[in-house]
C-alpha cells in the first residue's frame, strides 16, 4: 500500500510518477487506487445556522444565513483543530496504517441524504464521540472523494497497535450512523516504511 499526502493533484501525479520509475515499482502491481481530498465536515455549524434562520423567520440560504455562515467558516478555517484535519501531520510513533473507503447508504428506508440536517448533525456528533475514545491510540484522517471515486470518503487510520483498528472499527459499527447508514469497502492494513 502506498499512500501519498500532497497539497495538489499535480503533486499527487508527480509522486505517482516517481513511484512508477522507482526500483520498487518492478515488484508491485497496481490493483486499486483511491483519490480524495482532505476536508472537514460543517454539520454542526450548518445545523445551528438552519435552526437560527427558522427561529428568526428566515430560511437557509438567505442573506443573513449566508453572511453568518461565511463568518463562521472563516473563523473555523483559522482554528488549530481544522488546520490539523486539513493538513495532518503523520504520527511518527504510530507505525501501523489502515485504509478503507466508505459511503453513506441510500436505501429506500435508510437514506442518509433524506435525513434532516439536525438528524445528520446529531448522528455525526455521536459518531465523533465514539472515535474520541481512541484519542492517543489512533489518529484518523478523513478525506472526501465525491466526484473523484465511486466511494464518498476515505478513512486512513494510524496506530501504535494494529489491534486498535479492530477495536475502533468494531465500536463504530455499533454506532447508529454506521449501523444504519454506512457502506464499507475493502480494508487495507500495513506498516509504515520509509523509502
Residues with catalytic function: 100
Exposure pattern of 33-46 as b/e (b: 16+ CB <10 Å)?
ebebeeebebbebb
Helix (H, G, I), strand (E, B) or coil at 106: strand
Query: Cell numbers 455521536 label which residue?
Result: 126
- Alpha-helix residue ranges (DSSP H) falling in the chain: 9-21, 43-55, 63-77, 80-86, 117-132, 163-173, 176-181
**8 A C-beta contact, residue 159 and residue 165:** yes
What lies within 8 Å, CB to CB, of 49 at 6+ separation is 60, 65, 68, 69, 72
> Which residue, 104, 120, 143, 102, is CA-closest to 50?
120
In angstroms, rounded to a whole number, what is the distance separating the alpha carbons of residues 186 and 53? 41
> Which residue, 45, 153, 71, is CA-closest to 104?
153
Amino acid at each position: 500500500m502506498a499512500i501519498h499526502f500532497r497539497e495538489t493533484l499535480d503533486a499527487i501525479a508527480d509522486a505517482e510518477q516517481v513511484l512508477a520509475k522507482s526500483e520498487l515499482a518492478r515488484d508491485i502491481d497496481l490493483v486499486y487506487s483511491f483519490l480524495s481530498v482532505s476536508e472537514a465536515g460543517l454539520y454542526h455549524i450548518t445545523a445551528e445556522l438552519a435552526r437560527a434562520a427558522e427561529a428568526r423567520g428566515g430560511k437557509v440560504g438567505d442573506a443573513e444565513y449566508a453572511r453568518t455562515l461565511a463568518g463562521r467558516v472563516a473563523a473555523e478555517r483559522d482554528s488549530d483543530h481544522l488546520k490539523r484535519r486539513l493538513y495532518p501531520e503523520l504520527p511518527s510513533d504510530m507505525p501501523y496504517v489502515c485504509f478503507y473507503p466508505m459511503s453513506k447508504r441510500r436505501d429506500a428506508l435508510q437514506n442518509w441524504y433524506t435525513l434532516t440536517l439536525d438528524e445528520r448533525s446529531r448522528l455525526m456528533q455521536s459518531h465523533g464521540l465514539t472515535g474520541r475514545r481512541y484519542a492517543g491510540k489512533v489518529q484518523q484522517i478523513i478525506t472526501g472523494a465525491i466526484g473523484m471515486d465511486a466511494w464518498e470518503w476515505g478513512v486512513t487510520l494510524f496506530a501504535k497497535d494494529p489491534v486498535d483498528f479492530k477495536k475502533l472499527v468494531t465500536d463504530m459499527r455499533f454506532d447508529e450512523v454506521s449501523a444504519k447508514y454506512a457502506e464499507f469497502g475493502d480494508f487495507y492494513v500495513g506498516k509504515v516504511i520509509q523509502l
